[in-house]
Amino acid sequence: MPPTPTFNALHQTLTARYDLEELRTLCAQLGVPYDDLRGEGRSARARELILRMQRRDRLDELVAAIAPDAPPASARGQAAPPVRPASPTGPIRERWALLVGVDHYQDPAVPTLKYCVNDVLALERALKELGYTVVTLRDDADDSQWQPTRNNVEARLALLCQSVQPDDLLLVHFACHGHLAQGAPVLVMQDTHITTPAILTRQSLPLVEVERQMRGSQARRLVLTLDACHTGVEMGRDLTDPQFIHNVYELAEGFALIAASTAQQIAQEWREKEHGVFTYHLLEGLSGKADRAGKGFVTVDDLKTHVLDGLRRWNVTHSGVLQEPTVRSEGMGDIILA
């Protein structure tokens, strides 16, 4: 039996031999709902068709259907073969993202950050190009309902978690200060005050609440990324407790988690790029640079490797300042992000 063609070979064949209408016909023959394929152009639809067939162990059918000696799609009948039973986790149906960026805080005791809003705006653009439905809360929003207060963030997260379906992917990203409140990791929102531990606990957003909301959704693919401090070297460790990322890491069991730094390190900002160092490499990876194997898509593991390597290179070129991401993926497989 000849070897199965690579993803790139299949993708090149589909984009070279099939226009959009012919792809629609091919999908009908294979029993694949064309309108469920993510993306608008021929390349995106071809990619999603390959991934869907691969996940359902039906690549052999696709290979046979597009073999050089097979008649053109427009000349073949429309009858679809019997559809195989769906796997417990089907292909990704929709991709959703909640992005939260906070540079300026109502409490003057909370240090101002520089590039959190830049981070989420750049992520918003990148994710929308990848077909995500994106909800962004940032402190420079003109409309108060889109500002990252605790109530707004909780409400938007709850709405997304109620909306997602089992085969959807939900990605949540925070770029803000992080702290510990009574031993538990919390995120400092725009309206959080830190005057006393009791006030911090009452007004911040606990990571356990973010986890609870995400786990309570129907979505089987959950990704949490945290650039949660952004405190530059000159600002010291103002709101970055050594246990913050460690606790987030432990609480995130069952999530694909990529956090900006380890328990003993501070997440840095990159003046030249006007982004957090972590988010800069996250954006770079999502753009396709993390796909080093040429698969045509980027997975969580790809992104982890790319961000880790990028931060290590940054460490070398920035006077040995150390920042390595905390990464963990349990029970999720290798989720395709882009």
Q: What would the pLDDT profile of 160-196 be if each residue is shown by its tens digit? A: 999 998 888 899 999 988 887 877 778 899 999 998 8
Task: Kindly indicate the confidence band of residue 259, based on its pLDDT and cuts at 50, 70 and 90.
Answer: low
Burial class (CB in 10 A: 0-12, 13-18, 19+), 317: exposed
Longest CA pairwise span in the chain (Å): 74
- Cβ atoms of 157 and 213 within 8 Å: the answer is yes
Q: Which residues pair with 180 in a beta bridge?
A: 185
Phi-psi region for residue 219, left (φ > 0), alpha (ψ -120 to 50) or beta? beta
Other Cβ atoms less than 10 A from the Cβ of 259: the count is: 27
Assigned token pair, 110: 């909370």
Buried residues in 98-133 as b, exposed as e (16+ CB within 10 A): bbbbbbebeeeebeebebbbbbbebbbebbeebebe
Residue-level pLDDT at 237: 26
Q: Which amino acid is at 242?
A: P
Cα separation, 162 vs 71, in Å, equals 45
pLDDT tens string 200-211: 989 999 888 888
Please list the alpha-helical segments (H only) found in 164-299: 197-203, 207-216, 244-251, 277-284
At 9 the three-state DSSP class reads: helix
Global pTM reads 0.63
Residue-level pLDDT at 315: 67
Cα separation, 172 vs 92, in Å, equals 16
Look-up of token digits 């046979």: 64
Residue-level pLDDT at 254: 39
Question: How many Cα atoms occupy the beta-carbon half-sphere of 127 within 13 Å?
Answer: 25
Counted residue by residue, the chain has a size of: 338
Residue ranges with strand state E in 46-140: 95-101, 133-138
Look-up of token digits 């993926």: 329
Kindly state the average pLDDT of the residues 58-66. 84
Question: How many Cα atoms occupy the beta-carbon half-sphere of 4 within 13 Å?
Answer: 13
Which of the 8 DSSP states describes residue 281? H
